[in-house]
Structure 1
């Protein structure tokens, strides 16, 4: 279950359905990703999602990443069965 979202645009979209601070062409995919993240309760659930998901390394070693576009990713931490610190960024 989603517990916290860092990105203001994602938070607004998740809580109010207002995607005005996100790229309109990616809203459908972002919505699908958020729905799936809200439904997971284990690392196995996360890996079963597919979606180009992988664990990050280096400064973001605590985070998982899901590909939204060739450059943009949704990243998040998984802790105690919940999803935390969701962000939308270009880390490449």
Structure 2
């Protein structure tokens, strides 16, 4: 279950579907990723074809990333079956 967001636009998109704070071209993929994050009980649940799930180091130690498009990623922390600090950005 998603417990917190860092990206306000992504949080708005998750709760009410508004695309104002995200790239509208990413909306369908973001919806699928957020649905998976919400249902995930373990970080391994985010390992699916095309996700490119990887652990970030060292600046973002303990955080995970999945690919949205190009350099855009959803970044998050996973603790005790919950997802925290969900962010959406081009971090490269």
Q: Settle same-fold status: TM greater than 0.5.
A: yes
Deviations 1:51-85 (A, max 9, x none): 11111111101110011111111100000100000
Q: Distance in 1 between matches of 2:70 and 2:44?
A: 25
Q: Residue 3 of structure 2 corresponds to which residue in structure 1?
A: 3
Q: Secondary structure at the match of 1:86?
A: strand
Q: Residue 70 of structure 2 corresponds to which residue in structure 1?
A: 70
Say how many residue pairs are matched. Answer: 91
Deviations 1:17-65 (A, max 9, x none): 1111111111000000000000111133233x34111111111011100
Structure 1 unaligned spans of 5+: none
Using the size of structure 2 for normalisation, the TM-score is 0.92
Q: Secondary structure at the match of 1:34?
A: helix
Q: Residue 42 of structure 1 corresponds to which residue in structure 2?
A: 42
Using the size of structure 1 for normalisation, the TM-score is 0.92
Structure 2 unaligned spans of 5+: none
Q: Residue 28 of structure 1 corresponds to which residue in structure 2?
A: 28
Between Structure 1 and Structure 2, the one with more helix by share is 1
Q: Distance in 1 between matches of 2:82 and 2:7?
A: 17
